[in-house]
Amino acid sequence: MNTAELLVRCLENEGVRYIFGLPGEENLHVLEALKHSSIQFITTRHEQGAAFMADVYGRLTGKPGVCLSTLGPGATNLMTGVADANLDRAPLVAITGQVGTDRMHIESHQYLDLVAMFAPVTKWNAQIVRPSNTPEIVRKAFKIAQAEKPGAVHIDLPENIAAMTAPGKPLLKDNKEKTYASFQSIEKAADFISRAVNPLILVGNGAIRANASEGLTEFATRLNIPVANSFMGKGVIRYTHPLALWAVGLQQRDYISCGFDRADLIICVGYDLIEYSPKKWNPDGSIPIIHIGAMPAEVDSSYIPAAEVVGDISDSLREILYRADRANKPDPHALDLRTDIRNDYVQYAKDDAFPIKPQKVIYDLRQVMAPEDIVISDVGAHKMWMARHYHCEQPNTCIISNGFAAMGIAIPGAIAAKLVHPERRIVAVTGDGGFMMNCQELETALRIGTPFVTLIFNDGGYGLIEWKQQNQFGSSAFIKFGNPDFVKFAESMGLKGYRVESCLDLIPILKEALEQDVPTVIDCPVDYRENLRFTQRAGDLSCPI
């Protein structure tokens, strides 16, 4: 058995089902070993797509997604998706081929120090230089990738080491034990919550990773505390719950800002500062904070917890609930705020303008999708509208890249989502800019049999940057481009293509597209004049005193 074969056995031992990647000269021994493995190797059209697939696979399963590239340009192509997984707290293991160790001391074709290169975008990485160390390196990689806060790790395998005889066998996986918060911290948090007049819960992606949806919902309901979620915390509390105030995270004021303005205590549950900077909602650090999470709070001048409850999130919520006494009802302004938020959402239900307003596109999409169906949002102006208007009944049914916020994630991410949940309907929501960055992976989707819908918000430019330019300078530049005929593009790849030509077309097209057994593409013209209109309304927003 050589090192590559031992590596693959170790991956099998970790429960790996898929490896996403591209073949190359320096990973030939790994590919040969995979021919005789239970692991399915999925050949992608670009290494970035492979890393994004592993990224979303990790977010949806809680188990590391695995991606593979060769050395040099293959590895550099992989980095964007690896960095995205690391900052979005998705467990991922990246494996790269490398020149032989006998070539590293001199200038060599395609050689880069990949361990040094991946260090800033991973939790840990290592090069296999002794075949016998392979089981330890693989076990450590998976353990670190899954540990809180989850993220990316990297293994570099030189081609001469891959071919060497390798003694050893996979290591046993150790059981992850729950950790529990101290009684002192629980008592302190309960006391603050009992005395608060206008508390507000801010829930983040850590609550999803901890499977704390049920515990959070009971906690909020019994203590009558309104809940806002980060972009990545959607669905922890269902959006139809009477205490749900929906998403916070826009880089400008919105209705939910009024809730933070009035709050005298923010209870952060599974919240990560990278999701939405506390300087946006607690700029002078004056609002007391309770931090409830699996890890201690990050240091930030706007995020200094009055009480820090570190341990299993569901257990912490349950223990605080037993001790907190809140006989009073929630701040009536918070309930009025929910009414304002909901009215803003439903006003677009019958809007028939064309090109279609982004709010209307998302409203119609929500009507078509079942509670368990999944949308993957790309990055761009549409992401801001998805974050604000696409609401969830269940966790992990709206995947938004918001730590690294990398364009091009939607289509590769949808492939991973369909592999994880083949029984669910999947929609990749993307702008025309993001679509063209990884649209080649639609061929991958067709080849491996993962049908899903790609919904393109088509405005012929980089809409989010134009929005920012208009806000800051009153004009825009360098953001317009041309597009192919997306319907013909889809058909040329053996897919089905649709073009929305009126507001009334969208729902019937979505329903038909979701029933197809091949990937589909919907070209939907969108009216992004709504971006600046929203900015104007946000600027005029006044909160009740």
Question: Does the bond joining 131 to the residue before it have cis omega, within 30 degrees of 0?
Answer: no
Cα–Cα distances in angstroms (integers) from residue 43 to residues 57, 82, 93, 203, 426, in the given order: 16, 17, 17, 37, 21
Lookup: tokens for 79: 């980095």
Nearest to 403 by CA among 102, 162, 8, 121: 121
The pLDDT score that the predictor gives to residue 110 is 76
Q: Which fold has domain 183-338?
A: Rossmann fold (3.40.50)
The pLDDT score that the predictor gives to residue 535 is 82
Does domain 3-163 fall into CATH 3.40.1500.10? no
Prediction pTM value: 0.96
CATH pick for 348-536 out of 3.50.50.60, 3.30.420.10, 3.40.50.970, 3.20.20.140 = 3.40.50.970
Q: pLDDT tens, position by position, for the chain (545 residues)?
A: 999 999 999 999 999 999 999 999 999 999 999 999 999 999 999 999 999 999 999 999 999 999 999 999 999 999 999 999 999 999 999 999 998 887 777 777 778 999 999 999 999 999 999 999 999 999 999 999 999 999 999 999 999 999 999 999 999 988 878 899 999 999 999 999 999 999 999 999 999 999 999 999 999 999 999 999 999 999 999 999 999 999 998 877 788 888 898 999 999 999 999 999 999 999 999 999 999 999 999 999 999 999 999 999 999 999 999 999 987 666 667 778 888 889 989 999 999 999 999 999 999 999 999 999 999 999 999 999 999 999 999 999 999 999 899 999 999 999 999 999 999 999 999 999 999 999 999 999 999 999 999 999 999 999 999 999 998 999 999 999 999 999 999 999 999 999 999 999 999 999 999 999 999 999 999 999 988 888 887 666 666 55
Domain positions in the chain are 3-163, 183-338, 348-536
Domains 3-163 and 348-536 share a fold: yes
Q: Are 89 and 205 in contact (CB under 8 A)?
A: yes
Three-point CA angle 242, 248, 254, nearest 5°: 95
Q: Are 454 and 411 in contact (CB under 8 A)?
A: yes
Maximum separation of any 2 CA atoms in the chain, in Å: 74
